[in-house]
């Protein structure tokens, strides 16, 4: 664990019909956030998610083509391939309250979303593939 220093905090609504992961990434680019965290609630028109297969060391992807509440989005911001990268997981729910979730990937479309992004100062957090897990983890 590394000590970091919270600096700027941003709060607001994301745009209807935008891609959720792209919208969060764009905030980081616009505000020059290289380290930080994000949280959100809201609703999506459909979801695209990943599950990491720990044996095969690869993600499998699936979509849920339904209107869902975002019960929670939790993510962190760091550097991957030289650019700000949002790693976020989402918990969703359908009209019966049944819940679903996974690793957020492009293709999750915002109906409405209220996010809080907090930027940190600190050492460089850079993602590189780590051989034991096969995941792009912090060095």
Contact footprint for a second copy (CB under 8 A): 1-6, 8-13, 16, 27, 31, 35, 37, 39-41, 43, 45, 49, 51-55, 60, 62, 64, 67, 69-72, 74-76, 87-91, 93-103, 111-112, 114-117, 120, 122, 125, 130, 132-133, 135, 137-138
Minimum Å distance from CB 27 to a second copy?
6
Q: Which tokens in the block code for residue 98? A: 């049944």
Of 109, 101, 110, 113, the closest CA to residue 49 belongs to: 101
Nearer of residues 20 and 40 to a second copy, judged by Cβ:
40
DSSP-derived 3-state class of residue 78: strand
Q: Which tokens in the block code for residue 93? A: 């729910």
DSSP-derived 3-state class of residue 66: coil
């Amino acid at each position: 664990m590394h000590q970091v220093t919270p600096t700027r905090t941003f709060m607001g609504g994301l745009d209807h019909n935008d891609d959720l992961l792209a919208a969060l990434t764009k905030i980081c680019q616009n505000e020059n956030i290289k380290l930080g965290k994000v949280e959100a609630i809201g609703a999506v028109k459909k979801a695209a998610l990943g599950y990491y297969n720990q044996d095969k060391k690869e993600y499998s992807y699936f979509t849920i083509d339904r209107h869902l509440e975002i019960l929670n989005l939790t993510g962190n911001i760091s550097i991957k391939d030289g650019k700000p990268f949002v790693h976020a997981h989402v918990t969703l729910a359908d009209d019966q309250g049944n819940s679903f979730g996974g690793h957020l990937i492009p293709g999750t479309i915002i109906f409405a979303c209220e996010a809080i992004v907090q930027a940190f100062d600190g050492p460089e957090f850079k993602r590189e593939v780590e051989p034991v897990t096969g995941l792009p983890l912090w060095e």
